[in-house]
A and B are shown apart, each in its own frame.
Chain A
Amino acid sequence: MFRKVFVLWSILIGFTIFISIQSYTQDAPEVSAKGKEVYEHSCAHCHGIEGRGDGSAAENLLPKPRDFTRGLYKIRSTESGELPTDQDLFDIITDGMPGSSMPGWESQLKADERWEVVSYIKTFYDGFKERETPPREISLEGKIAYSAESAQIGKTLYTDLGCIECHGNVGRGDGTSAPTLTDAWNDRTWPANLAENWNFRGGTDTEDIFKRFIGGIAGSPMPAFEGDSFLHFGLSSEESKRLSEMENKDEMTPEEEEESGKLYEKMDEAVLVALDRAEGTELTPEAQKIYDDAMKVVAEKSWHLANYVKSLSPEKRPETAIGNNSLRSQYTVEELPIIEDEAWNTLEDSYYPLVGQVVIEPRQFNPTIDSVRVKSFYNDTEVAFLFTWHDRTHNIEVEENEDTGTSYEDGIAIQFPVKPPKGPTDEKPYFLWGGKKPVYVWQWKASEQDKITELTVKGVNNVTVQENQGDLNVKGEYKDGEYRLWVKRALTTDDKKDLQLEPGVFVPIAFSAWDGANGDKDIKRVMSSWYSFVLEPVPSSRRFIYPPIVALLSVGFLIGLRGFVQRRNSASDEAETEQ
């Protein structure tokens, strides 16, 4: 009896596991009319009826919607040169691609509809049909868990492998090649800003980053590490280190010439094996060993590098500085800190996301500046702000370029109403450069980094440079893909066209920014709607007076209550004894 039950249970559990594995990684179903219908309803306006990535909305988008006819897929769990698995396609449809206009479809399409779409998308590229064996998936074996040491090794690799060429010294996507990159369709593409992982298209886990290294990002300039000689593919870590040492010398001795020659031969051999393997040739046991050894080193380096990249960004996009997160300028009795001062590090950043200006022509549909962050101190007479924002390129003049088009000057503008609203129902000026109600603007341009122009603006075509300039102390700088702008001003000025500041009063603030290399100029820009900030008043000293009084009163009350009850009890006792 017991055995029977046991067997039944085992079958049941086995079946459940089978089902759950089935639903975990799955192959797409046969192509169906349903897939076509869903595709044409939900996908075609961007990706095109024929899957060429040329739907009517595609014109204004960058990155462009994927062209499914070339079999190039950025986000894969498969090795370099392989097509994605069905599960990869399904996951992208489900989760979307952050930082692009591709949303996740989990809320809109049922799982079986998403699977039908996977099947349908595959019909656009014959390679899927011709594929005989399942694609080779990237092995995640030998994962190196995050540690400061591993990230440090990764940091060295980051420089040695040349990642800085595109991604910049500290990873803000500001490398020297950044402005020149195009993808397989000849569309402009920007290297990822590794400090803003919420825009990573394929996920932020160390595993996700690792897969991008091993498999590359197909169609983009991001190379795959497998079989690539810049990684010294085929050499052990020691050999690779030795080769770099020798290569960095001005002149090699004859012995070193010979030694490095041997190492080059070893690398060539390994690269050839990798090529054979990619072409589907059966490897001899010796060749297999060469390949396995080489890949082991590549994987190890990639894990360290992935740990370093992971360390460059906050876990997720910071909370927007609105409501209780609003910017609060910190009071200090001392002189306000200058731009280099360490005191700024004691404050938290207030984060303001910026988006493209799509209201007035020419519009900016594809912004490259993610956000601006602000910190502020004030004292009895002055206020100081520190604005920071990421921009991959430092543009200080108009430049013509045949390949990438004209680039303009970078800049930022900080916008306030001339008069703070009197109450929550008092109307603010129009968020985009004011209107009937004027706005007071600090305009800063990258070519004159220690100067701000004060403007009074009543709409895009009504910009007046204020007669009274020079109330502001300004210092700007650009380094490693980041602008920092420091502004100091008196709380109150004599100019009626200026905003006057007072502690405890919330004041609306909005931003515009220009990345010249992205074609931003004048009204074409990135911007925010209104937020608000306050010079946080010095906390009331009453907080040290009232609480002790409350404590004394409550103790007194409790003692009094006890006395009252005691007296009443003894009174009623007496009354009882009298009875």
Chain B
Amino acid sequence: MKRISLFTICFVIFIACWVFLQFVIGGVISKPIPNSVIGMYMALVLVAILVHVSVEDSRFKEFLRPVYETLVDDRYRVRRLVLVIVIPLLLTGFSYTNLAQKTPPPGDPRDAHPTPPLELKYKDEVIETMQKAQNPYRHYEKDDPETFRSHVENGKKVYYDNCFYCHGDHLDGQGHFAHGLQPLPANFQDPGIIPNFQEAYFFWRISKGGPGLPASGTPWNTAMPVWEDHLTQEEIWDVILFLSDYTGYKYRTFGEGH
């Protein structure tokens, strides 16, 4: 049996790496990887292959041998002809599709976690500084479980009267209106949401909604209403209690490391 040439091996490894990134990781295991990222990985693979083959002079010669042969050897006339047609065709097609591309839609450089203001406000009333503000009913969890339950129950009612159309019966951001909104409503079942924020942060986002986001977070497109126009402070704190009670996630508290 003829030995497989070093060039073929390298070529196969290169293609295999691409298939692995594009289809195995980017399809079977996880979501598709952006082309730019795949490009970066493939550049690394290419460099690695080139380093490997050029470590020794003889190996490099062995690597280039099939290339030379294809270019000049009379035995490979057919292969040469095929390549001289296929390579320019591919390049031509590539440049055509690039030029004929449609105008790309505007990107969405939205800041997912906008910076809150220094003071927590309800309408114009300052409640406390953002750092110090606490849920005034949280302490009942230890002190008076019965009162705590009644606040959670009230929060549940507030949630189903106002929030669940978008944020969903499962609190997963998949309410029956969610398909009409862009960006999608927050998913409270996501482990990256509740544990990363203080209750005061939630109070701010609920009470001030989309229009209350800072200029640095533009262009906010969120349809989140300004709930302080409709809900009392107590109702907002109660619904915050309900969110963590239902999902089992705990809000971040100060004292924990950043």
Chain A residues engaging chain B, CB cutoff 8 angstroms: 45-46, 55-57, 60, 100-103, 105, 107-108, 317, 320, 322-324, 326, 328, 353-356, 358-361, 365, 421, 423-428, 430-432, 435, 504, 506, 528-532, 534, 536-537, 539-540, 542-543, 546-548, 550-552, 554-555, 558-559, 561-562, 565-566, 569
- Taking the nearest CB of chain B, how far is it from the CB of A102, in angstroms? 8
On whether the beta carbons of B164 and A57 are closer than 8 Å, the reply is yes
Does B118 sit within 8 A of A, measured CB to CB?
no
Pick 24 A–B contacts, CB within 8 A, sort by A. Answer: A101-B176, A322-B182, A355-B165, A355-B177, A365-B165, A506-B103, A529-B180, A529-B181, A536-B102, A539-B100, A540-B99, A540-B100, A543-B100, A546-B99, A547-B93, A548-B92, A550-B92, A551-B88, A551-B91, A551-B92, A554-B88, A559-B84, A566-B71, A569-B68
Complex Cα distance A546/B93, Å? 11
Does B95 sit within 8 A of A, measured CB to CB?
yes
On whether the beta carbons of A424 and B106 are closer than 8 Å, the reply is yes
Among residues of B, the one whose C-beta sits closest to the C-beta of A543 is B99
Does B105 sit within 8 A of A, measured CB to CB?
yes
On whether the beta carbons of B219 and A426 are closer than 8 Å, the reply is yes
Within 8 A of A (CB), among B75-109: 80, 83-84, 87-89, 91-93, 95-96, 99-100, 102-103, 105-109
Q: Which residues on A sit within 8 Å (CB–CB) of B93? A: 547
Complex Cα distance A80/B225, Å? 45
Complex Cα distance A529/B211, Å? 14
Among residues of B, the one whose C-beta sits closest to the C-beta of A539 is B100
Chain B contributes a number of interface residues (CB within 8 A of A) equal to: 54
Does B157 sit within 8 A of A, measured CB to CB?
yes
On whether the beta carbons of A424 and B72 are closer than 8 Å, the reply is no
On whether the beta carbons of A424 and B107 are closer than 8 Å, the reply is yes
Does B161 sit within 8 A of A, measured CB to CB?
yes
- Taking the nearest CB of chain A, how far is it from the CB of B246, in angstroms? 9
Complex Cα distance A322/B180, Å? 11
- Taking the nearest CB of chain B, how far is it from the CB of A46, in angstroms? 7
On whether the beta carbons of B179 and A353 are closer than 8 Å, the reply is yes
Does B20 sit within 8 A of A, measured CB to CB?
no
Does B54 sit within 8 A of A, measured CB to CB?
no
Q: Which residues on A sit within 8 Å (CB–CB) of B119? A: none
Within 8 A of A (CB), among B39-72: 68, 71-72
On whether the beta carbons of A506 and B106 are closer than 8 Å, the reply is yes
Does B31 sit within 8 A of A, measured CB to CB?
no
On whether the beta carbons of B161 and A530 are closer than 8 Å, the reply is no
Q: Which residues on B sit within 8 Å (CB–CB) of A430? A: 210-211
On whether the beta carbons of B87 and A427 are closer than 8 Å, the reply is no
On whether the beta carbons of A56 and B223 are closer than 8 Å, the reply is no
Does B11 sit within 8 A of A, measured CB to CB?
no
Residue of B176, B179, B225 near A359 (CB, 8 A) is B225
Given the known interface contacts A543-B100, A547-B92, the answer about A421 and B219 at a Cβ–Cβ threshold of 8 Å is: yes
- Complex interface bits, B210-250 against A, C-beta within 8 A gives 1, otherwise 0: 11000100111101010001100000000000000000000
Residue with the highest number of chain B CB atoms closer than 10 Å, among A100, A359, A432:
A359
Complex Cα distance A424/B105, Å? 10
Among residues of A, the one whose C-beta sits closest to the C-beta of B223 is A529
On whether the beta carbons of A561 and B71 are closer than 8 Å, the reply is yes
Complex Cα distance A562/B96, Å? 27
- Taking the nearest CB of chain A, how far is it from the CB of B162, in angstroms? 7
Does B128 sit within 8 A of A, measured CB to CB?
no
Q: Which residues on A sit within 8 Å (CB–CB) of B181? A: 355, 529
On whether the beta carbons of A427 and B169 are closer than 8 Å, the reply is no
Residue with the highest number of chain A CB atoms closer than 10 Å, among B68, B88, B100:
B88
Q: Which residues on A sit within 8 Å (CB–CB) of B177? A: 355-356, 358
Given the known interface contacts A528-B180, A561-B71, A565-B71, the answer about A103 and B219 at a Cβ–Cβ threshold of 8 Å is: no
Q: Which residues on A sit within 8 Å (CB–CB) of B22? A: none
- Taking the nearest CB of chain B, how far is it from the CB of A432, in angstroms? 7
Complex Cα distance A504/B210, Å? 29
Closest 7 CB pairs of A and B: A355-B180, A57-B160, A355-B177, A543-B99, A359-B225, A353-B180, A554-B88
- Taking the nearest CB of chain A, how far is it from the CB of B201, in angstroms? 21
Complex Cα distance A430/B181, Å? 14
A428-B219, A566-B71 known; 18 new pairs, CB 8 Å cut-off, are A45-B160, A101-B164, A323-B105, A353-B180, A360-B225, A424-B106, A424-B109, A424-B219, A425-B218, A425-B219, A427-B218, A432-B223, A506-B105, A529-B221, A546-B96, A551-B88, A554-B87, A555-B84
On whether the beta carbons of B182 and A531 are closer than 8 Å, the reply is yes
Residue of A323, A428, A504, A551 near B221 (CB, 8 A) is A428
Residue of A103, A105, A554, A566 near B91 (CB, 8 A) is A554
Q: Which residues on A sit within 8 Å (CB–CB) of B68? A: 565, 569
Does B170 sit within 8 A of A, measured CB to CB?
yes
